[in-house]
Amino acid sequence: MSDLVTIARPYAKAAFDFAVEKDALDQWGQMLAFATEVTKHKQISDVLDGSLTANKLSELLIVVCGEQLDEHGQNLLKVMAGNGRLKALPDVLAEFLALRREHDKFIDVDVISASELSEQQQDDMISKLEQRFDRKVKLNCSIDETLLGGVIIRAGDLVIDNSARGRLNRLSDALQS
């Protein structure tokens, strides 16, 4: 799987740079999402694993995608097919969306709590996290009833464990050292 991410990165970067240049980020995001969904379809996926030539593969995808792809989106599929990289299209989409979030100064934050957070708590958390990260924050809240209290916040590689169990573990570590 990581091989496909490595393969996908330059395609995503090229598509993203082109989309920024043409002020068409939304359009490119939609084209890539649609083409990705097409490649996930069982029959198309079987064809991608088959022995069709690159030209036939790209023609097939372009016909199936129809008007959802503009000329530049079709060119991307042709290049990827020519290099035998169509299987990496879902990873191209993921990388493109990551570049888009970075460009828009946007970050997804997962918040795990013992009980449901109120609107006020969520608003306060968003405000504080936006100050800390200097980005717009989108909270993805979930509940883990095994937590005694507090919250665990995950934003990319950063984990803030402010749960009761996490605090007790840190206290125990401090007492033992």
**Domain with 89 in it: what CATH number?**
1.10.520.20
Return the pLDDT at 2. Answer: 56
Q: Based on the domain organization, do 145 and 94 belong to the same domain?
A: no
Amino acid at 21: E
Quickly count: other Cβ atoms within 10 Å of residue 73's Cβ: 21
Say if residue 143's pLDDT is above 50. yes
Q: Which residue has the higher pLDDT, 169 or 2?
A: 169
Q: Based on the domain organization, do 13 and 38 belong to the same domain?
A: yes
Element (H, E) at 18: helix 2-21
Q: Based on the domain organization, do 88 and 24 belong to the same domain?
A: yes
How many residues are present in the chain?
177
Domain span at residue 139 reads 106-176
Residue 115: give its domain's CATH number.
3.40.30
Looking up tokens 């980005």 gives: 135
> Which among 106, 116, 117 is positioned nearest to 156, based on CA atoms?
106
| CA 66 to mean position of chain CA atoms | 25
Q: Based on the domain organization, do 125 and 74 belong to the same domain?
A: no
Residue 70 is classified by DSSP as -
Return the pLDDT at 53. Answer: 80
Q: Based on the domain organization, do 118 and 98 belong to the same domain?
A: no
Q: How confident is the model at residue 1 (pLDDT cuts 50, 70, 90)?
A: very low
Q: Based on the domain organization, do 8 and 66 belong to the same domain?
A: yes
Q: Based on the domain organization, do 41 and 93 belong to the same domain?
A: yes
The residue among 56, 80, 102 that closes a domain is: 102
Q: Based on the domain organization, do 75 and 153 belong to the same domain?
A: no
Number of folded domains that form the chain = 2
Say if residue 127's pLDDT is above 90. yes
Return the pLDDT at 72. Answer: 92
Contact 92, 15 (CB under 8 A): yes
The residue among 73, 102, 131 that closes a domain is: 102
Structure tokens at 116: 């449901």
Q: What is d(CA 94, CA 37) in angstroms, rounded to the nearest whole number?
A: 12
Q: Based on the domain organization, do 14 and 62 belong to the same domain?
A: yes
What residues contact 156, with CB distance under 8 A and at least 6 apart? 107
Q: Based on the domain organization, do 95 and 139 belong to the same domain?
A: no
pLDDT tens profile 74-119: 999 889 888 888 888 999 999 999 899 888 888 889 999 988 999 9
Return the pLDDT at 142. Answer: 93
pTM, 2 dp? 0.67
What is the mean predicted confidence (pLDDT) over 7-27?
Answer: 92
Buried b (16+ CB within 10 A) or exposed e, 147-157: beeebbbebee
The residue among 71, 102, 133 that closes a domain is: 102
Contact 16, 92 (CB under 8 A): no
